[in-house]
Amino acid sequence: MSAFVYKADPVRGRVWAEVFARQAEPELDFRIWPEIGDPAEVHYLAAWDPPADIRDTFPNLKLLFSSGAGVDQFKFDQLPADLPVVRMVEPGIIKGMVEYVSWAVLSLHRDMPAYQRLQREHSRWMPIQVRPAAKRCIGVLGMGSLGQAVLGQLRSFGFDCAGWSRSRHAVDGVRCFAGAEELGALLSRSELLICLLPLTEATRGFLNAELFAQLPAGASLIHVGRGPQLVEADLTAALASGQLKHAILDVTDPEPLPSSHAFWQHPQIWLTPHIASMTQPETAAEVVLENIRRFEAGEEMVGLVDRGLGY
C-alpha cells in the first residue's frame, strides 16, 4: 500500500480526495491529517505546515509538496536533506494572480485612488486626462511562472513592460533585466512596480528606501510577494515625501495586521488580506498527481525546489 497524506485546509482536502478517488485509487490511498493510518505506508505528503519530526512521523516519505505557491513557511534546516520539496505551480494560482495584478495595475493606471478621494469630498467632479497604456512603464520583480503570466496579460493591454529576476529570461515583447547590476535599469523606468519575488534571505527587506529612491518620482507599488520583503517605515516615508504615490499591498508582516497598525487608515495604501491568488483544490490535486507520475517515471517535476536558492 502506498499512501498520500494531505495536511492543510480540510475543506479543500475533501476536493483533493475526490480527485484522487477518480484518478489514483486504488493504487494510491488518500488520507487527510490527522487520520494518517499506518505511517509507514505514507510516501507522499502535501502540507502548509508539515510535522516538525517529519522523518520520524513518516519514515518512508519520498516527496513533500507545498499546498500553496510558496515554500518560505518550511523550515528547511528541519527537513531531511534528501527529501525533495515541490512548490505548487497550478493553473488556479496563476490565473488568480493575473486577475489581481491586472486589477491593481488598471486601478492605478486609470487613477482610481484619486477618483475615490474626489468622491469622498462629495463636490468635486474633476476628470483626469487618460494616459495611453503604451506610455505607461510597468516593472515586474520576479520572472517565474507567475511573473511571466502577469507580464503576458499586461502586454495584451498595451503597457510598456519590463521584468527583472536573478537569472536571465527572454519573454516576447518584454524588456528583460537580470542580476544585481541590472536592477537599477529596471527600477529607473518603472512607474508601476510589481513585486512577485519569492521570500529568501536575499529578498528579505528588498523593498526599502534605497530601492524606492531609484524609481521615478511619483511611482506606485503593487506588492504581492511576501510581507517581510517590505520595510514598512521606508514605504511610509516614500509615500510622505511623494517619491511614491500609492501602494497596493496584498501581503504584510505580520498577517493579519493588528488593528492599531497605521496601514489600515493610510490614505495612500490599499490593503487586501493575502488573497491575490489562492490554490484551486481540483487543479492543484491534478498537478500533484502528475508530479507523482513524473517522479515515479524518473522525469523532471514541475516546481521542484532548489534549496540553495530557496524556491
Size of the chain in residues: 311
Select which of 226, 246, 261, 266 is catalytic.
226
**Residue 266 catalytic?**
no
Distance CA 241, CA 30 (A): 55
**Residue 110 catalytic?**
no
Q: Hey, which residues does 197 pair with through a beta bridge?
A: none
Distance CA 46, CA 86 (A): 9
Distance CA 150, CA 169 (A): 14
Distance CA 10, CA 208 (A): 38
Q: DSSP state, 230?
A: B
Phi, psi of 195 (to 5 degrees): -100, 115
Select which of 261, 266, 274, 307 is catalytic.
274
Inter-residue contact 32 to 299 (CB < 8 Å): no
Distance CA 174, CA 156 (A): 11
As annotated, the active-site residues are 226, 274
